[in-house]
Amino acid sequence: MNRAAPVRWDRLIRNVHLATFEPAQHGSQDPQFDPDYGVVRDGAIAIAGGRIAWLGAEAQLPPNASAAEEVDGQGQWLLPGLIDCHTHLVFGGNRAEEFEQRLQGVSYADIARAGGGINSTVRATRATGVDALVAQARPRLQALLAEGVTGIEIKSGYGLDLASERQMLQAASRLGAEFGIKLQRTFLGAHALPPQYQDNADGYVDELCQTMLPSLAAEGLVDAVDGFCESIAFSTAQMERVFACANALGLPVKLHAEQLTNQGGAALVARHGGLSADHLEYLDAAGIAAMAAAGTTAVLLPGAYYFLRETKQPPLQALQQAGVPIALASDANPGSSPLFSLQLMLNFACTLWGMTPAQALTAVTRNGALALGWQDHCGTLARGKRADLVLWPLQTPAELAYQFGGIRPSQIWIEGQPQQVQS
């Protein structure tokens, strides 16, 4: 007789329906659900060493396995933790006054040109120490975590000098450690032209490439590099220099591209093997082709689209037809998206742009991970990935995109450890 050796897991969650977001593995098992969810009905999932050790139909649980702790999921839905792959969560102050100005007819670009916009947040951020930056960002992060976010990207870009950018990245690092979440810290020194370089954009790019980025990278504070490629910010030629510097330091790149006008930024970041091009309302066919060829993820930001009352939609269908993976993120920031809710983005992407709930949920799980280069570590339910898991009191996963307000996780595990859920 051939008896398998006993297996002992740390934790086994039983009596759950799984949305794995692994359609190739679990796509067509239940015709009631969009195959993109990768549904396993009446499933179970086992955790060992903070990783997913086994998952499948509960009826197929290996008879030789047991767990130190069993959790009854009571027939609820278990999804991978959500990933917010584009945020500016750390900043000082707020811009409610500009919101009022904009509603009196002044445009976002005009406010920026008059020294407001990003630069008004730069003034407030520079005047705020690391402790206060952490304290101000904490409730914003808690709002996201309360909605089932377990992985997040946080950008700098409101310091725009070495010391202030360092403080932002230190604040991000502290928040990541405090909450134990998976974090990518992105250097966004090329966000706006700072006051000290008013008529000397190339001089600022010199300092960025020669001093700021190399220093912060050497201090271990930078995981990726981003920029704002726009008529009111940096040109493709300037971003090219920043990317060359990032590439030389071995850091992945991404770009705020074609948000307000078409500058060819998406093609530029694709050419540099970028992780993602973000915003993309004004993206053209050449940019889409470049992204598809390079495998660059499109990060769409419905919060900024909505809050700036943009009317030009990103070319969703053309991106899908070209096979470009699409992620969604909050863009949480004080100027263009003071909306600290990824669930709201799911609803916006469906109602404003016509994404399906399965596409939208894929965009904040599987493709959110892809946009951060985390696809081997998280974003789907698969053996070997981090056990970043969220249990939801739903009848169907689509409810997460359909209903806004009042849906909270019943339980969250980060690397297999149960978290305190806010009710």
Question: Which residue in the set 17, 102, 140, 256 belongs to the binding site for ligand DI6 (CB under 6 A)?
Answer: 256
CB 105 within 8 A of CB 423: no
Considering the complex, state which of residue 34 and residue 310 has its C-beta at the smaller distance from ligand DI6: 310
With CB under 5 to 8 Å by kind, the binding choice for 136 among Fe ion, ligand DI6, none is none
How is residue 287 written in tokens?
Answer: 């940019």
Site track 108-127 with ligand DI6 (rule: CB under 6 A), x = hit: ---------xx--x------
Taking CB positions, which residue lies at the least distance from ligand DI6?
335
With CB under 5 to 8 Å by kind, the binding choice for 282 among ligand DI6, Fe ion, none is none
With CB under 5 to 8 Å by kind, the binding choice for 21 among ligand DI6, Fe ion, none is none
Considering the complex, state which of residue 22 and residue 331 has its C-beta at the smaller distance from Fe ion: 331
With CB under 5 to 8 Å by kind, the binding choice for 117 among ligand DI6, Fe ion, none is ligand DI6
Binding to ligand DI6, residues 304-333 (CB under 6 A): 304, 331, 333
How many residues bind ligand DI6 (CB under 6 A)? The answer is 13
Q: How far is the CB of 27 from ligand DI6 (least distance, A)?
A: 35
Asked if residue 335 binds ligand DI6 (CB under 6 A), the reply is yes
Asked if residue 388 binds Fe ion (CB under 5 A), the reply is no
Taking CA 118 as the corner, what is the angle to CA 325 and CA 212, rounded to the nearest 5 degrees?
80
Q: How far is the CB of 344 from Fe ion (least distance, A)?
A: 16
How is residue 336 written in tokens?
Answer: 């263009």
With CB under 5 to 8 Å by kind, the binding choice for 274 among Fe ion, ligand DI6, none is none
**CA 266, chain centre distance (Å):** 18
Q: How far is the CB of 88 from Fe ion (least distance, A)?
A: 6
Spatial separation of the C-alpha atoms in residues 30 and 38, rounded to whole Å: 9
Q: Which residue in 229, 194, 223 sits closest to 208, CA to CA?
A: 194
Asked if residue 310 binds Fe ion (CB under 5 A), the reply is no
Binding to ligand DI6, residues 179-208 (CB under 6 A): 191
Considering the complex, state which of residue 246 and residue 382 has its C-beta at the smaller distance from ligand DI6: 246
How many residues bind Fe ion (CB under 5 A)? The answer is 1
Site track 144-173 with Fe ion (rule: CB under 5 A), x = hit: ------------------------------
Considering the complex, state which of residue 147 and residue 331 has its C-beta at the smaller distance from Fe ion: 331
Question: Which residue in the set 87, 336, 362, 380 belongs to the binding site for ligand DI6 (CB under 6 A)?
Answer: 336
Q: What is the 3-state secondary structure (H, E, C) of the chain?
A: CCCCCCEEEEEEEEEEEEECCCHHHHCCCCCCCCHHHCEEEEEEEEEECCEEEEEEEHHHCCCCEEEEEEEEEEEEEEEECEEECCCCCCCCCCCHHHHHHHHCCCCHHHHHHCCCCHHHHHHHHHCCCHHHHHHHHHHHHHHHHCCCEEEEEEECCCCCCHHHHHHHHHHHHHHHHHHCCEEEEEEEEECCCCHHHCCCHHHHHHHHHHHHHHHHHHCCCCCEEEEEECCCCECHHHHHHHHHHHHHCCCCEEEEECCCCCCCHHHHHHHCCCCEEEECCCCCHHHHHHHHHHCCEEEECHHHHHHCCCCCCCCHHHHHHCCCCEEECCCCECCCECCCCHHHHHHHHHHHHCCCHHHHHHHCCHHHHHHCCCCCCCCCCCCCCECCEEEECCCCCCHHHHCCCCCCCCEEEECCEECCCCC
Q: How far is the CB of 228 from ligand DI6 (least distance, A)?
A: 4
Asked if residue 331 binds Fe ion (CB under 5 A), the reply is yes
Considering the complex, state which of residue 112 and residue 209 has its C-beta at the smaller distance from ligand DI6: 112
Asked if residue 409 binds ligand DI6 (CB under 6 A), the reply is no
Provide the binding-site residues for Fe ion, judged by CB under 5 A: 331
Provide the binding-site residues for ligand DI6, judged by CB under 6 A: 117-118, 121, 191, 228, 256, 259, 304, 331, 333-336
